[in-house]
Amino acid sequence: MATLAMAALFAVAILIAASLTVIAWRRRREGAGFAAIAAIAAGATWWSLATTIPLFSRDPTVVMVAISLLYPGVYLVVGGWWATSRALTNRFWRLDRRSALLLSIEPALATIAIITNPWHHLFIEHVQPTAIDGAYAATFGPLFWVHTVYCYVLVVISAVTVFRMYIRQTGRYRGYLLAIIALLPASVINLTGILAGGRLVDLTACGFALSAPTMYWVARHSTPALAPVVHREVFQNMTDPVLVIDPAHRLVEANPAAAGLLARLGISDDDVARNIEVLLSQLPENAEGDYVLRNVRGVGMDLNVRVSPLLSRNGEPAGSILVAHDITEQTRQTEQLRMQLATIEALQASLAEQAARDYLTGLYNRRHLMTELASALEGGTGFTFVLLDIDFFKKINDEYGHNTGDDVLVNVASRLISTLRPGDVAARYGGEEFALLLHGLSAGEATAWVDGLRHAVASTPMRVNDADVAVTFSAGVAAGDGYRCPVSLIDDADQALYVAKANGRNRVEQATRHLARGVSAARP
């Protein structure tokens, strides 16, 4: 009767352990802990199967073989529990080759001792009947006790690892305690059996098989995705400074990176409370989001601070989390880049300006003049166009030399620049010809203005090489009203200029349609 009861117990244990092996193995890709629990369950299944044989066999040789065969299950249970403890406390843990090799050393030695046991009997001394219907149990030798000490040392190390994690957690992570409690029944049963000295049937496998589902539940429900991201470890190891502030602006907690930041800001541990208030004063009231703080506390440090509000369970404000990032170097590089871009833009503008200027006189060149004329015509604003030509310029070149001629051109250009109003345009049109774009003047007003300029130039000889050079110019004036094409406007001003030269030079003529037709007819 007792044998049948024991057999039923082992059958239940085998069914539970085998089912859990399949379930946990299917979820092995979700984390290393599921594979470790599958190892525990598989070991308990094998251990239970091997332990069942002595219940029904009364042949000492068969029982000895069965007991020898159960130890692979023991190795899996003990090694699986060690792996489970690592997976529960470190979500990134994976069994590497070194750990696997170290774990296999003792099982390999124990296996050698078991295989050679018939010759030395140092692992299992003999088997003998128990009080349970005469079922056989083993009495063990010194090598078995060495193996047992190793197993319990590994189990204790694993339990301590999990317990240390337990005392550092709160709330649902306290489920770690269940993993330790689940280990106790199997350990008690195992110690009772082996200390009985062959008088009791070993029920250890049943204990592990029945406790394995509890460990599976811990792995599945007490940790997200098998192993928790322990908030304390994450908080302590974040590279960005993190500060937790209560509603009264008091520092509640700071990670090591934040402590380092406060030290760089010259804030000592004794001075944190007062200076945190100073730091927070740079943020708006009820701040939320990202803020850039410049030159914090005058130490030349720039910070990007992200403020996230903390709410209690009932939705009341519970403080704020500040995540700071030192952007001093980034700010410096950005400012340096901004200055470089400004320099490049200035150089581009300078190059563009130089490309639009005449190299000798510094006035705008003909290409730029055409752009300005087209813009003025398109804008429809009132303006007057003037073409002027230095009289007898060839004679000046022949008598005084080309260098003197260049000096005359520069001098006339200087007079034009000094006389123009803001917004007006002066350009060198070609050779000794210049062009003016006078905004807001009618043809009559422009004619009078240019004639005044002509009189000033003619009445003031230019001093060149210790000699006074008389310089005069002739000009043609054309109002921009009614024109759509710059070329037509230039042609009319040019015709007026030819009229001025034909009428004796050193004079200003205004373009008219009658004048234009007359000049055209008079040209060869």
Q: Give mean pLDDT, residues 17-35.
A: 77
Question: Would you call 144 helix, strand, or coil by DSSP?
Answer: helix
Query: Given a cut of 60, is residue 175 above it in pLDDT?
Result: no
More confident residue, 510 or 356: 510
Provide the pLDDT for residue 133: 64
**Band of pLDDT at residue 120, cut at 50, 70 and 90:** very high
Query: Given a cut of 60, is residue 37 above it in pLDDT?
Result: yes
Query: Given a cut of 50, is residue 517 above it in pLDDT?
Result: no
The structure's pTM equals 0.45
**Band of pLDDT at residue 243, cut at 50, 70 and 90:** confident
Which helix or strand (DSSP H or E) is residue 129 part of?
strand 124-129
The superfamily (CATH) of domain 356-522 is Reverse transcriptase/Diguanylate cyclase domain (3.30.70.270)
Rounded-to-integer distance, Cα 40 and Cα 350, Å = 79
Distances (CA, A) of 403 to 394, 396, 398: 12, 10, 11
Provide the pLDDT for residue 227: 42
Instruction: Tell me whether strands 473-479 and 508-510 are parallel, antiparallel or unpaired.
Output: parallel
Query: Given a cut of 80, is residue 515 above it in pLDDT?
Result: no
Rounded-to-integer distance, Cα 261 and Cα 299, Å = 12
Tokens 């020898």 belong to 68
Provide the pLDDT for residue 384: 94
Rounded-to-integer distance, Cα 95 and Cα 439, Å = 86
**Band of pLDDT at residue 33, cut at 50, 70 and 90:** confident
Q: What is the pLDDT of residues 359-386, one digit of tens each?
A: 899 899 999 999 999 999 888 778 999 9
Say if residues 186 and 211 touch (Cβ distance below 8 Å). yes
Q: Give mean pLDDT, residues 121-148.
A: 82
Rounded-to-integer distance, Cα 254 and Cα 518, Å = 93
Provide the pLDDT for residue 519: 42
Tokens (6 digits) for 133:
């219907």
Provide the pLDDT for residue 498: 95
CATH 3.30.70.270 residue spans of the chain: 356-522
Say if residues 519 and 498 touch (Cβ distance below 8 Å). yes
Q: What is the pLDDT of residues 38-48, one digit of tens each?
A: 888 888 888 77
Query: Given a cut of 60, is residue 180 above it in pLDDT?
Result: no
**Which of 127-136, 179-188, 465-474, 512-521 ranks highest by mean pLDDT?**
465-474
CATH 3.30.450.20 residue spans of the chain: 238-331
Q: Give mean pLDDT, residues 168-176.
A: 51
Provide the pLDDT for residue 224: 43
Say if residues 356 and 428 touch (Cβ distance below 8 Å). no
CATH number for the segment(s) 238-331: 3.30.450.20
Query: Given a cut of 60, is residue 221 above it in pLDDT?
Result: no
Say if residues 507 and 498 touch (Cβ distance below 8 Å). no
Provide the pLDDT for residue 240: 84
Q: Give mean pLDDT, residues 457-486.
A: 87
CATH number for the segment(s) 2-229: 1.20.1070.10
Query: Given a cut of 60, is residue 4 above it in pLDDT?
Result: yes
Which helix or strand (DSSP H or E) is residue 350 part of?
helix 328-355
Rounded-to-integer distance, Cα 338 and Cα 273, Å = 37
Average predicted confidence (pLDDT) for the chain = 79
Tokens 């001629």 belong to 405
Provide the pLDDT for residue 510: 93
Q: Give mean pLDDT, residues 29-35.
A: 72
Q: What is the pLDDT of residues 63-101, one digit of tens each?
A: 888 888 888 988 888 888 888 888 777 666 778 889 899
Q: Which residues pair with 251 in a beta bridge?
A: 245
Query: Given a cut of 80, is residue 130 above it in pLDDT?
Result: no
**Band of pLDDT at residue 139, cut at 50, 70 and 90:** confident
Rounded percentage of the chain residues whose pLDDT exceeds 70 = 78
Q: Give mean pLDDT, residues 280-288.
A: 76
CATH 1.20.1070.10 residue spans of the chain: 2-229
